[in-house]
Amino acid sequence: MLCQLTCFLIGGLVAPMPANAQIILATVCRDTSTMKNDTTNWYYSRGKGACKKIDLNEPHYDLSETDIVFAFQMPGPREGMILDYSRWQQNLIGVLQVDIKYHSQIEMLPRSTITIDARLAYRNKGDPEDVWKFYTKSVEKRNLDCDIDLKSEEYLYNCSAIPLFELGSLYHDYYLLNVRLPVDSPDMNSGIGHIQDMWLTVINQNGGFTRVWLYLKTAFFPCIIGILVWFWRRIHILQRKPVLLEKMLLSLGLALCLLNMPIEYLTLHYDLPFMLLLSDIRQGLFYATLFSFWLVFAGEHMLIQDASAQSSVKQYWRHLSAVVLGCISLFIFDMCERGVQLRNPFYSIWVTDLGTNLALTFIILAGISAGVYFLFLCYMIWQVFTNISYKRQSLPTMCSVRRLHYEGIIYRFKFLMLATLLCAALTVIGFILGQVAEGQWKWDESIELEYTSAFFTGVYGMWNIYIFALLVLYAPSHKKWPVVENTADTQNLSEEMEFSPLPSERASSEISSLTSFIRKTTID
């Protein structure tokens, strides 16, 4: 409990908010070059060689559409200070907002298509201010949904946000985005009205939060490795094969080790744009293993018809297939989004109606599935408690030593099952919050999420503490049954002899005395 409280306090008192958003107003530059497709000419607002700025509110009769460049220099200054990105900030997402002024002669349609020629460059500390290096470029089409409350020359259209790019790594110090609106054909960008300004919202992970997160990983990783080695050694010295619950615990520990591995330190020295996708895959594997373990864990403590039968994964194939199917669906969705972004950061599945509906469907179904899973898990745990209450009726007929032994086990097990429910509830809430937080900048909905770093660090610490406790509590025991010699208390001697199992029974009861108590026929 102290470790759990510490994890919450670290997130609440030490770590900043998980993500930071900055809104940057575009600088409208005039493109004076003859080669409009040349990627060596970059336009920026600050520093040596800054572009010639123009005001689109004033008439420019000698200006064509191909001469206009919207420049975004990232990060923007704050309180007069020139900022730079840190590799601790991990990733960068860009969302575009367009200000379109109403004109009675050029009225926009509620739905129009805007074609964007986007080019991204970078610069590092120590580089000359006028030297920008090419990063990537793409010509993308986006749907633009606009409406207006009052049709007046002084009003702007209310237009939807446009997801523009997503970088899986933030390796360089400065970034520059140049946006052009090409008119290569008569229909291209013909129905978007008079654009007055552009705004770019850039979202990145806070470096302070990344430090706290990696420090927690660094602390938990060797602990889980050590307890896994100890757990496997306990199983290996037995004269039997591991049972199902031990195999599931071992798989869960390995999945947690994969999640805890602090490979994000590599991003401080290398440009790894696939790290965001790799983090999603690691977390998906952990979710799949954790959800599968809970189903087997509850099922193994339920009453079954054949108590002598050996449990296997085949008994839970229906439950596990639902979990695996859901995780595979989310993996395919993630590959369609972030997998393609490894080649083209400007790609987004949200840019078409079909892609948006598909993405929203995946997110909604994932949230509903997580909620249904939690309710089903609650039902299974309720059945476990019912079985325990039924089997507990035989306790008064037992000897005092055996009765006290089982009462202690039942008390500890109930506490463990309540901890399982709490862990499952917070995990499902965190899963849904993560899905909504990831998509809130990409769909056209104003959803305000209030979540803090304390929730994420607390849930992450809870996973490690919970699995650590399970590995300790369900490790095969090394203790020997006591031998009573030269005692005058014959009643205690007879009780000890009655309580001690036969050598052939010890191997099957080492995994869980409660499991064997629930499953065996009441003969006491």
For the stretch 253-277, pLDDT in tens is: 999 999 999 999 999 999 999 998 9
Q: Which amino acid is at 494?
A: S
pLDDT at 61 over 50: yes
Q: Which amino acid is at 17?
A: M
Mean model confidence pLDDT for the chain: 80
Average pLDDT over residues 498-502: 42
Average pLDDT over residues 44-65: 78
DSSP per residue over 144-193, as a string? EEEE-SS--TT-B-EE--EEEEEES---SSEEEEEEE---SSTTTT-SS-
For the stretch 336-386, pLDDT in tens is: 888 888 889 998 887 777 877 887 787 788 778 888 888 888 888 888 888
Q: Which of 393, 353, 342, 31 is nearest to 181 (CA)?
A: 31
For the stretch 196-239, pLDDT in tens is: 889 999 999 999 999 999 999 999 999 999 999 999 888 888 77
Task: Name the residue with higher pLDDT: 266 or 512.
Answer: 266
pLDDT given at position 383: 84
pLDDT given at position 494: 39
pLDDT at 184 over 90: no
pLDDT at 85 over 50: yes
Average pLDDT over residues 414-426: 85
CATH class name, domain 20-205 = mainly beta
Average pLDDT over residues 278-302: 87
Sequence spans of domains, the chain: 20-205, 208-478+507-519
Question: Which band of pLDDT confidence, cut at 50, 70 and 90, is reported for residue 411?
Answer: confident
pLDDT given at position 497: 36
The strand pairing partners of 200, in sequence order, are 24, 96
Whether the full predicted model's pTM is greater than 0.85, yes or no, is no
pLDDT given at position 449: 47
Rounded (10°) CA dihedral 305, 307, 309, 314: 50
CATH class name, domain 208-478+507-519 = mainly alpha
Average pLDDT over residues 491-512: 41
Residue with tokens 């523009």: 164
Q: How far is CA 467 from CA 93, 184, 213, 415, in A?
A: 34, 59, 18, 15
The three-class DSSP label of residue 29 is: strand
Question: Which band of pLDDT confidence, cut at 50, 70 and 90, is reported for residue 524?
Answer: very low
For the stretch 27-44, pLDDT in tens is: 998 887 777 667 778 988
Residue 477, CB-side half-sphere exposure with 13 Å CA sphere: 12
For the stretch 478-494, pLDDT in tens is: 655 454 444 444 344 33
Residue with tokens 């200006």: 63
The three-class DSSP label of residue 434 is: helix
The strand pairing partners of 146, in sequence order, are 159
Q: Which of 44, 34, 43 is nearest to 66 (CA)?
A: 34
Query: Exposed, middle or buried by CB within 10 Å (0-12, 13-18, 19+), for 215?
Result: middle
Average pLDDT over residues 84-90: 91
Q: Is the peptide bond before 242 cis (omega within 30 degrees of 0)?
A: no
The share of the chain scoring above pLDDT 70, in percent, equals: 83
**CA 292, CA 365: separation in Å to the nearest integer?**
18
Average pLDDT over residues 35-63: 78
Which of 9-23, 273-287, 305-319 is predicted least confidently? 305-319
Q: Which two tokens stand for residue 268?
A: 């401080």
pLDDT given at position 438: 60
pLDDT given at position 435: 66
pLDDT given at position 310: 55
How do beta strands 194-205 and 19-25 pair?
antiparallel
Question: Which band of pLDDT confidence, cut at 50, 70 and 90, is reported for residue 515?
Answer: low
Fold match, 20-205 / 208-478+507-519: no
Rounded (10°) CA dihedral 325, 329, 331, 337: 180
